[in-house]
Chains A and B, each alone.
Chain A
Amino acid sequence: MAGETQKLITSVKVQPDSSWGLDHGAWSVIKHLHPKADVPVIQMSIDYSKDPQYHYDLGKQLAALRRKGVLIIGSGNIVHNLGLVDWKNIRTDNFAFDWALEARQKVNKLILNSDHKQLINFKSLGKEVQKAIPSPEHYLPLVYALALKTEKENISLFNDKAVGGSLSMTSVKVG
């Protein structure tokens, strides 16, 4: 399937890589989806040198895999400011700082309204969102998932809770 992925992506050069296995972003969640570990998994990396629009466009090119039995998963966190985690409250149910709550609500609303333009330009969504997304790597996997949504498809949220004040577990299902 790595080949299928490479073939589909026409606008950029996607290269096979042999130095990376499955990182915790991948295996810590996939393990729960398929505990028998009987589904092959491949990973595609995030090019840190590119802007969010690039990732959105790249995501769109993966669409054909959806019709070949391939489950595409972006794994990250929407609100993710590790430096500001309140470790004393790490076990407190749904504990969010005000700015984190505001950022989560704002982004959730845009997701449910399929306002992809604003979600791609997340850096312009205000200071709360900027604090929630201090670096793009945990947010960009969401951009791939959004890119794959067709106009008519449903989109829903689950695990929509905060952790430790400055993290969110909000997850999204398209289709």
Chain B
Amino acid sequence: MFLFETYPNFALAKCKTDTTMDRKRFLKTLAALPLAGAAVRLADLNRLAKELTPSVTMPVLFLGHGSPMNAIEENEFVSGFRKVATTIPKPAAILCISAHWETRGTFVTAREHPQTIHDFGGFPKQLFDV
């Protein structure tokens, strides 16, 4: 168990730049951790934290996400997301705080391969295949 995500077709980036190297090492470290089991072990997490190397200060985003259909539609909002991405260095990782995960207490995702959650209904099948 542990965080890291995977939307479909997850693939390691090719090592062409230094930042990609960092990311690859980061992902390799994730892969090496004993992730099966019920609890994230603190020592493992600290090992992982060490893999994060200092960077320029990354921007922060708030994104109006609107309808889940934005995942598969082509529209001006989607191109706005793409455009802003070109102004930001490629991140080593993304930390997302989403309106759709409310809990009592604060939690972080902690699964090796989290499922995408289709927390809505009445949309075309195409969307559920994402």
Which positions in A face B, CB cutoff 8 Å?
A: 1-7, 9, 12-18, 20-34, 36-49, 58, 62, 65-78, 80, 137-138, 140-142, 144-146, 148-149, 158-159, 161, 163, 167-175
Contacts and interface: CB of A to CB of B under 8 A. Distances in A.
21 contacts: A2-B3, A20-B111, A24-B100, A25-B96, A25-B101, A28-B70, A37-B8, A39-B23, A39-B91, A42-B109, A43-B108, A43-B109, A44-B97, A44-B108, A46-B99, A66-B58, A69-B91, A72-B61, A141-B62, A145-B62, A163-B67
Contacts of B96: 22, 25-26, 30, 41-44, 72-75
B1 to A, nearest CB: 5
A139 B119 CA distance: 18
Given A24-B68, A40-B30, A18 B104 contact: no
Nearest to B73: A28
B108 A16 contact: yes
Given A25-B65, A37-B7, 14 more contacts: A1-B52, A38-B13, A42-B109, A46-B102, A47-B104, A67-B58, A70-B93, A73-B97, A74-B63, A142-B62, A163-B66, A169-B64, A169-B80, A171-B62
A22 B108 CA distance: 11
Interface in B70-109: 70-71, 76-78, 80-85, 87-109
B97 A169 contact: no
Contacts of B13: 36, 38
Contact of B85 (A3, A32, A77, A148): A32
B49 A71 contact: no
Interface in B1-36: 1-13, 19, 22-23, 26-27, 30
A17 B46 contact: no
A147 to B, nearest CB: 9
A174 B87 CA distance: 12
Contact of A69 (B8, B27, B52, B77): B52
Interface in B94-130: 94-111, 114-120, 130
Interface residues of B, number: 89
A71 B106 contact: no
A88 to B, nearest CB: 15
